[in-house]
Amino acid sequence: MIQKKIYVNGIEQNIFVHPDTFLVKVLREQIHLPGTKIGCNEGHCGACNVIIDGKLVRSCIVKIGRVAEGAKITTIEGIGTPTNLHPLQLAWVKHGAAQCGYCTPGFIVSAKVLLDTNPSPTREQVRDWFQKNRNVCRCTGYIPIIDAVMDAAKVLRGEIPYESLEYHYQPNTDIWSSRYPRPTGIPKATGTIKYGADLILDLPPERLYMGLVQAEVSHANIKGIDYSEALKMPGVVQVVTAKDVKGTNRINGVAFPSNKGDGKERPILCDKKVFQYGDAIAVVLAQTEAEAYAAAKKVKVDLEVLPAYLNLVAAKAPDAIEIHPGTPNVYFIQPLNKGEDTAPIFARKDVVIAEDSVITSRTPHMPIEPDCAFGYIDPDGCIFVHCKSIGVHLHKFMIQEGLGLADDKLHLVSNPMGGTFGYKFSPTTEAIVAVCVQASGRPCGLIFNYHQQQQYTGKRSPFYATVRLAAEKSTGKILGMETDYDVDHGPYCEFGDLLTVRGIQFMGSCHDIANIRGEGRTVCTNHGWGSAFRGYGGTQANFASEIVTDELAEKLGMDPLELHLVNTHHPPKGDYPGSTNPSGQILDSYSYEQMLLDMRPKWAEAKKRCKEASTDTIKKGVGIAAGAYGCGLDGPDSSNAFAELNPDNSITICTAWEDHGQGADMGAIGTAHKTLRPMNVDPSRLKFTWADTRNPVSGPAGGSRSQVMTGGAVRVACENFLAGLKKPDGTYYNTYAEATAAGVPTKYDGTFSVPGVPCDENGQGKPFMVYMYGVCLAEVSVDINTGKVHCDHIVFHIDIGKICNRSVTDGQLYGGVAQAIGLALTEDFEDIQKHRTMLAAGVPYCKDIPDNIDLVYYECHREFGPHGAAGVGEIPLCVPHPAILNAIYNACGARVKRIPALPERVLEALKAKK
Amino acid sequence: MIQKKIYVNGIEQNIFVHPDTFLVKVLREQIHLPGTKIGCNEGHCGACNVIIDGKLVRSCIVKIGRVAEGAKITTIEGIGTPTNLHPLQLAWVKHGAAQCGYCTPGFIVSAKVLLDTNPSPTREQVRDWFQKNRNVCRCTGYIPIIDAVMDAAKVLRGEIPYESLEYHYQPNTDIWSSRYPRPTGIPKATGTIKYGADLILDLPPERLYMGLVQAEVSHANIKGIDYSEALKMPGVVQVVTAKDVKGTNRINGVAFPSNKGDGKERPILCDKKVFQYGDAIAVVLAQTEAEAYAAAKKVKVDLEVLPAYLNLVAAKAPDAIEIHPGTPNVYFIQPLNKGEDTAPIFARKDVVIAEDSVITSRTPHMPIEPDCAFGYIDPDGCIFVHCKSIGVHLHKFMIQEGLGLADDKLHLVSNPMGGTFGYKFSPTTEAIVAVCVQASGRPCGLIFNYHQQQQYTGKRSPFYATVRLAAEKSTGKILGMETDYDVDHGPYCEFGDLLTVRGIQFMGSCHDIANIRGEGRTVCTNHGWGSAFRGYGGTQANFASEIVTDELAEKLGMDPLELHLVNTHHPPKGDYPGSTNPSGQILDSYSYEQMLLDMRPKWAEAKKRCKEASTDTIKKGVGIAAGAYGCGLDGPDSSNAFAELNPDNSITICTAWEDHGQGADMGAIGTAHKTLRPMNVDPSRLKFTWADTRNPVSGPAGGSRSQVMTGGAVRVACENFLAGLKKPDGTYYNTYAEATAAGVPTKYDGTFSVPGVPCDENGQGKPFMVYMYGVCLAEVSVDINTGKVHCDHIVFHIDIGKICNRSVTDGQLYGGVAQAIGLALTEDFEDIQKHRTMLAAGVPYCKDIPDNIDLVYYECHREFGPHGAAGVGEIPLCVPHPAILNAIYNACGARVKRIPALPERVLEALKAKK
């Protein structure tokens, strides 16, 4: 150890450190400034940015020994405070530039250095700066961030007043559809909100750190575990294995009855087998994280290695053994039979048939915050697990039996989260943490490093899909569709059946197709297990059908936009009941046609622009795609909330609406405020809650269901609140004192349900009562020498119903489009070793995302949405990526059929064309 | 554990805590706000004050489980920051109201609540508030604190501008003798300076906490230690005993050659014997403090209990065994033979003889910060111990051999310290920490609780002293003095011989006495070991002689002030060489006479006032005393420093001048600035250093030697700096660039030595080259029914030479007077169990100290002091307490001969009078 004197945010700190300790650890763990975040922890993401003597530094790669004696360091805590925001922080709040907020400290610190050195940057210079300094944001698509920097610079230059960035609520007005700043904005912009890893640092001193012993093969039988050496290592308190699990040691995957497995194949800690790389076999509990992992290395696991089926082709091979003995590797099948048999249609002479097969990627979610959780036992002997769950009640149900815990002996609570994008629809570490808490009786914390995040959390499941479209030669009217696909869901079935159903629901969903035949199958493999990801199933399904739609247009000699228009849905009219989606359900909003018509001139301009701007080596092209996605779970769905007037006259809007950055805070407050308008409530009185299994059951925050379902429950609760607090004279008991004096209740429950009908064995039903729709135009540049593609421009027409909060919605859509660009061009987790870093897995940096993403909202009222709102999160992951792939084809004739469209795949497709 | 949401300094904190955890621990260890301090940890001192929902709360006695959900807590960190000081903080800095600074956060937080509720308090209301809320300050005597609150209130009321409290340095002026705010003022006022316990919290996660196994008897043979059960306790890493000590396991007490012991009787960890209550026998190293102490309770020590000699009478008894076998319990004797034999004088008929015996107390130092230290091994294998040492080089020497460490394998560094007042002139925990670091190879930290602070650190050694004075009946001229005293130094000799010498040096030192005979003896006992305390020896010696002087005046029928004047020292004049002190040395400043003359009218007024104000039950009285103390060690002394121009043009004034709150920072900067005036250096360029054995050897910060000796070394270094950086044209190379371009050195050493002569076997010599002098008037009220005494007024005329910094000097003197009042009236550590708390040990609260302490400086230039300065720290502990005891006698005729003058002793003396 050495002593070093540094000045942090103007305060002298004498620190005692190992010179090899990275600065970020020193700042967080020794100087106790947790605003500086650990993301990738290898210098790829900028979450750990700090300023050292005026220079921007990624503190995760700077050893404290190399920091100069007397160095002056500024962290986010030194930029401004909640009561004294720096203009950058205020601008961040205004523009909703903090979504999950985990990258925010690093960005603001970075921007501070930029503006210190260049007070008047152009937008492009700001983008260059963030690109050069590797600031990754995974939520916002960067645009709100650039907006914030530009505005803060104006304030700093004295061109606009500081106050102009503040939101001033006017009494008796709506915040619905406004840019009211979300409640977590200031804590995020100041680095004062505490995420899981920060809270673990705050646990009492008896806290134990968990070091996982993980499989380094993908498939094996476990013959023995010897942890005697580990127990002798410094700081080790205990080693936990499957033998310490009190229940069934199985996570309940909530399998469909028609699933050939029982859905209980995932062990909490591996007992008999290893099913995938990274599977947890044992856990070392130690006083420090370093001690836990040092000891974990000493645990010897005796394995009989089995053949690893790393894709569905291998797992389906006739000689493949059953990964879960007793359950076939193909364990679920979903047929689709809509309308007439399609074989005769495809046999007709007057049709043009387009057919193609595509493969989608095992996309990693890449939140900047790696997974983490901690747990403890409360005085009643109940185990609390605080985690990144976006389905606290669901996950409690899924892990409870495996842990052997009674209903009142387990609670799950969501931490503020640095993004999940859906991977946390599946439990990850919750059950393992609970086991360790049970076994040790002490608070236990687990923080994944980024490699663990990549290798041992769920991924988007690849589809191997074939789509055939038959269209009337003369009109382009699609008469029939045939689909056939396999889903590689990794070793654990959790929601693999549900995902497979999404395939039949969303292939061809932007077209009015009367006759469809299709089948999807879920396949068990040994690659990373499948979990939800924004666009869940729609991403894969719509990719397949929109690529083939583009091919169909070419075969027909039609413009693809016009082909879409020919086939678009139409509303009921007179006797006409309205066109239906692949599930046979009429649409809740027939906005496609208007969105396509409005796109027509933009499409024409873009085609012209691309043609003119293409050169011999850089080919520019434009593509189009449309698509839909449902808001909700499959079939009937419901959610619960309550609204309560508190003694301090604040009003708690209590739900279990998990916020993984998407805006549960604002959703709850915005919806409540709109409902409570008759009472003229100042929005500052409204308090949201973090999700907790002690709160009303709101269902998971996935599938874009929350604004619809939990927003609906909030609406009902607030309507009941209004009714309950209404005075005989029509005014309201607006204070706690008035209400209690009048003897009226102060707490009002609300339940909201929708009459959905799950898809039947023919794939027909009313799976969602609210859908989102979109039409996307994408322009790209393709370097035909290198195969590198850049997305230059996106126009996205979207119908997500009425908008609750404009900043949040913009952020969701910009960010979703950015993820769609990554999905289309760079992101993958196919190579378990190579893709374990954010950089290698293709996370998009600032300059990978165009600054001109044009969002056009079609705010069509939704019957089942609160105040007419639909969801938001999935739609941008369903539509832009096929538009981009179609644009690549348009640019250079390379028809890339597997995403991401990596340079080598583009070059290969170019070669195939020749 | 429970989860609780609280708002701390405006930031939401979700904490996970045991409901029984005290709030101060949660704030410090879990929310990482170390500005809130732990002092007594039982609600007696207010160092832990925070505000909860507007109310002042001592956070060491509030369990977090009882803090309301959603409570709003403000800590010192939330009052203001170094760049945004609250008016209270600014006023604190201005008035030097933070000395050691450890009580400061608690006081400022307390004052905040006061001013929030009463914006216009009177001084007395401020004092009432601090009294009621039990805010203890041990450094300042409270007066600068009240000044600061009054000024801050004016700013808050808008009566004076904020800026009026700031110090604005005018270029080309002196800060010498000014109220320039000391460099550590802002960090202390904002709670951002880190003390030892705070730094321990910042150590890397492999840090171990030390739990001491301590003796619970005062004298015993150790027959065995069984720690097998302790090793099995949770979190325990190791148990360390004497067997783990690599060296001699003895602390070198630096005994005089004439000491009958070798000075090496104190074990680092007890091996053969226990010598006093609290002696450390073993140390448990564990991951947490709670685990370490839980396991320490499981260590079984097999003891053969021996008779405990808890005072010197018992230890001197003929049947007493030798506490250290081979060394007599009376192990050092210091005679005094000045002038003629005194027997004939005392036999004369024309003399009046006064004789009395007094006993002084085993005063506890009671810093608000309990002892603490930590250590680690650097990459070169050197052990660093960071501690409260006020003699880093001395202590390194004292513990090095015991540890078996080579000179380059051990370094000691002073932490910012919450007061020592001298107890840290002896090493306490340093060697034990080093042993644990050696044994474990890991960073180890030890934090005493307040009981440990009381029971296992050195105390002021009681003197049992008899003084006889013989004065000419007609004139009052003292012709001879005889003294005889024993010193109860506890079991360890460290500086016990030196202390005994102080007795002969300072008994009767305010009188010009030609003929003295005396003897002092050092006695080994089993009570708390003796260590330095402000006034060291002078406190005890002058008490004895000034009580007897008062008795002499009465016997002579003279006014005591006039008796002092008759006997006062006179300077050389013509052939007259000047009067000498008991060591036979002429004085360095003959200021007594003027101080007495100037006191005369005040004395007369006070006598009149007291007489008039006395009632039947409350008797008021006034007393007077004078006295001197030396600045330095005994005999020759020297110190070293260097001044270095740094690349950033700051100038480091490097010393090992330990700052235990007294103002080493300001001493170094003030002295350097004065010396560097020809260069016109802005004081902000001057940087002081914390003491470190890697710095020049400056000697310990005790005995009021630092301003003289290390100030002298700073002066010399700065003079060399000036000479070295002088250009041929007479101007200076004022920047690093200039100096290096010119090729002149940038670092300049300075050594300062004084030609002292230690006292010989007759007690004659020139032990100090600089002395401090004082005359004190004290007024008291005595409740003759209860015996309770209150000190109402102090007038203190002091000659401490030229003043370096007025705020620091005022603070030292106010605080010293306050300690003298405690010494006189309340403070004791005689009952090992009862006196283990600050409250029971009689720490003075605000209202125990009068608000009117009048300091009058006589700035007589000192030849050997830098720029004419002497020291400060000891003199207020040498003079006021006999004045107070004399005032009690004057009030009610009770001659109390043992301090503290507790009510029962006053009542007893009143009874004796009857």
Task: Report residue A786 as tokens.
Answer: 């290198």
Q: What is the separation of C-alpha A117 from the centre of its chain, rounded to a whole number of angstroms? A: 35
* Chain A residue whose CA is closest to B32: A32
Task: Give the Cα separation of B594 and B592 in Å (integer).
Answer: 6
A182–chain B nearest CA distance, Å: 16
**Chain-chain contact of B379 with A19 (C-beta, under 8 angstroms):** yes
Say whether residue A53 is in contact with chain B using an 8 A CB cutoff. Answer: no
**Chain-chain contact of A1 with B376 (C-beta, under 8 angstroms):** yes
**Chain-chain contact of B204 with A29 (C-beta, under 8 angstroms):** yes
Between the CA atoms of B605, B611, B612 and B616, what dihedral angle is there, to the nearest 10 degrees? 160
Task: Give the Cα separation of A102 and A80 in Å (integer).
Answer: 17
**Chain-chain contact of B14 with A206 (C-beta, under 8 angstroms):** no
Contact of B736 with B649, CB cutoff 8 Å: yes
Q: What is the model's pLDDT at position B106?
A: 98
pTM value > 0.80: yes
Task: Give the Cα separation of A401 and A416 in Å (integer).
Answer: 26
Task: Give the Cα separation of B555 and B575 in Å (integer).
Answer: 34
Task: Give the Cα separation of A164 and A150 in Å (integer).
Answer: 13
- A430, A554, A644, A874: the catalytic one is A874
- The number of residues making up chain B comes to 914
Would the pLDDT of B535 be above 80?
yes
**Chain-chain contact of B19 with A205 (C-beta, under 8 angstroms):** no
Instruction: Of A792, A845, A825, give the one whose Cα is nearest residue A902.
Output: A825
Examine the residue annotation and report whether A874 is marked as an active-site residue of this protein: yes
Instruction: Return the number of CB contacts < 8 Å for A and B.
Output: 119
Residue B643 bridge partners (DSSP): B653, B748
Task: Give the Cα separation of B742 and B727 in Å (integer).
Answer: 9
Q: What is the model's pLDDT at position B913?
A: 83
Contact of B445 with B372, CB cutoff 8 Å: yes
What is the β-pairing status of strands B686-688 and B651-654?
parallel
Is the link from the previous residue into A900 a cis peptide, with omega within 30 of 0? yes
Would the pLDDT of B247 be above 90?
yes
Restricting to A residues 570-609, those with a Cβ less than 8 Å away from any Cβ of B are: none
Task: Give the Cα separation of A667 and A714 in Å (integer).
Answer: 9
Task: Give the Cα separation of A374 and A385 in Å (integer).
Answer: 6
Would the pLDDT of B696 be above 90?
yes
Say whether residue B20 is in contact with chain A using an 8 A CB cutoff. Answer: no
Task: Give the Cα separation of A695 and A369 in Å (integer).
Answer: 25
* Chain B residue whose CA is closest to A20: B379
Instruction: Of B322, B242, B310, B238, give the one whose Cα is nearest residue B277.
Output: B310
What is the β-pairing status of strands B478-488 and B410-414?
unpaired
CA atoms A797, A798, A803, A806: torsion sign: negative
Q: What is the model's pLDDT at position A634?
A: 87
User: Which residues of chain A make contact with B384, given a CB cutoff of 8 A?
Assistant: 1, 3
User: Which residues of chain B make contact with A81, given a CB cutoff of 8 A?
Assistant: 10
Would the pLDDT of B269 be above 80?
yes
User: Which residues of chain B make contact with A205, given a CB cutoff of 8 A?
Assistant: 29, 287-290
Q: What is the model's pLDDT at position A633?
A: 86
pLDDT tens readout for residues B823-840: 999 999 999 999 999 999
* Chain A residue whose CA is closest to B26: A204
**Chain-chain contact of A235 with B289 (C-beta, under 8 angstroms):** no
Q: What is the model's pLDDT at position B634?
A: 86
Q: What is the model's pLDDT at position A612?
A: 97
**% of residues, chain B, pLDDT over 70:** 100
Q: If pLDDT is split at 50, 70 and 90, which confidence band does B633 have?
A: confident
Contact of A463 with A503, CB cutoff 8 Å: yes
* Chain B residue whose CA is closest to A376: B1
Indicate the helix (H) or strand (E) that contains B143. Answer: helix B143-156
A579–chain B nearest CA distance, Å: 51
- B369, B551, B644, B874: the catalytic one is B874
Of A3, A194, A287, the CB nearest to B14: A194
Task: Report residue A436 as tokens.
Answer: 């360790």
Contact of B571 with B590, CB cutoff 8 Å: yes
Question: CA dist A372 to A235, A489, B45, B436, Å?
Answer: 21, 23, 41, 35
Restricting to A residues 261-290, those with a Cβ less than 8 Å away from any Cβ of B are: 287-290
User: What is residue B174's three-state secondary structure?
Assistant: coil
Q: What is the model's pLDDT at position A914?
A: 67
Task: Give the Cα separation of A51 and A515 in Å (integer).
Answer: 62
Question: CA dist B156 to A84, B11, B113, B118, B389, Å?
Answer: 20, 25, 13, 11, 40
**Chain-chain contact of B378 with A15 (C-beta, under 8 angstroms):** no
User: Which residues of chain B make contact with A64, given a CB cutoff of 8 A?
Assistant: none
Indicate the helix (H) or strand (E) that contains A352. Answer: strand A351-359
Say whether residue A380 is in contact with chain B using an 8 A CB cutoff. Answer: no
Task: Give the Cα separation of A168 and A106 in Å (integer).
Answer: 28
Residue A413 bridge partners (DSSP): A386, A692
Mean pLDDT lowest among A601-610, B118-127, B445-454, B630-639: B630-639
B287–chain A nearest CA distance, Å: 7
Residue B627 bridge partners (DSSP): B774
**Chain-chain contact of A29 with B203 (C-beta, under 8 angstroms):** no
DSSP annotation of A106 reads H
SS (H, E, C) B719-786: HHHHHHCECCCCCECCCHHHHHHHCCCCEEEEEEEECCECCCCCCCCECCCCEEEEEEEEEEEEECCC
Restricting to B residues 183-212, those with a Cβ less than 8 Å away from any Cβ of A are: 187, 192-194, 199, 201-206
Say whether residue A83 is in contact with chain B using an 8 A CB cutoff. Answer: yes
User: Which residues of chain A make contact with B379, given a CB cutoff of 8 A?
Assistant: 1-2, 19
Largest CA distance in chain B: 84
User: Which residues of chain A make contact with B79, given a CB cutoff of 8 A?
Assistant: none
A452–chain B nearest CA distance, Å: 22
Say whether residue A31 is in contact with chain B using an 8 A CB cutoff. Answer: yes
- With 0-12 CB in 10 A as exposed, 13-18 as middle and 19+ as buried, what is B340? middle
Whether the ipTM is more than 0.85: the answer is yes
Say whether residue B19 is in contact with chain A using an 8 A CB cutoff. Answer: yes
Contact of B696 with B642, CB cutoff 8 Å: yes
Top residue of B236, B287, B447, B690 to mutate, by most chain A CBs within 10 Å, is: B287
| Those residues with Cβ within 8 angstroms of residue B428's Cβ, 6 or more apart along the chain or in another chain | B371, B373, B387, B388, B456, B457, B458
B725–chain A nearest CA distance, Å: 25
Contact of B642 with B748, CB cutoff 8 Å: yes
Q: Mean pLDDT of all residues in chain B?
A: 97
Say whether residue B157 is in contact with chain A using an 8 A CB cutoff. Answer: no
Residue B657 bridge partners (DSSP): none
Residue A570 bridge partners (DSSP): none
Task: Give the Cα separation of B240 and B246 in Å (integer).
Answer: 12
Helices (H) and strands (E) in chain B — how many of each?
25, 30
Residue in this structure with the two tokens 């008896």, named with its chain if needed: A206
Would the pLDDT of B914 be above 80?
no
How many other C-beta atoms can be found within 10 angstroms of the C-beta atom of residue B911?
Answer: 10
Instruction: Of B847, B851, B845, give the one whose Cα is nearest residue B814.
Output: B851
A75–chain B nearest CA distance, Å: 15
Restricting to A residues 393-452, those with a Cβ less than 8 Å away from any Cβ of B are: 413, 443
User: Which residues of chain B make contact with A291, given a CB cutoff of 8 A?
Assistant: 206
Q: Which residue type occupies A684? A: S
User: Which residues of chain A make contact with B234, given a CB cutoff of 8 A?
Assistant: 206, 237
Task: Flag residues of chain A having pLDDT under 70.
Answer: 914
Provide the terminal-to-terminal Cα distance of chain A, rounded to the nearest Å.
Answer: 64
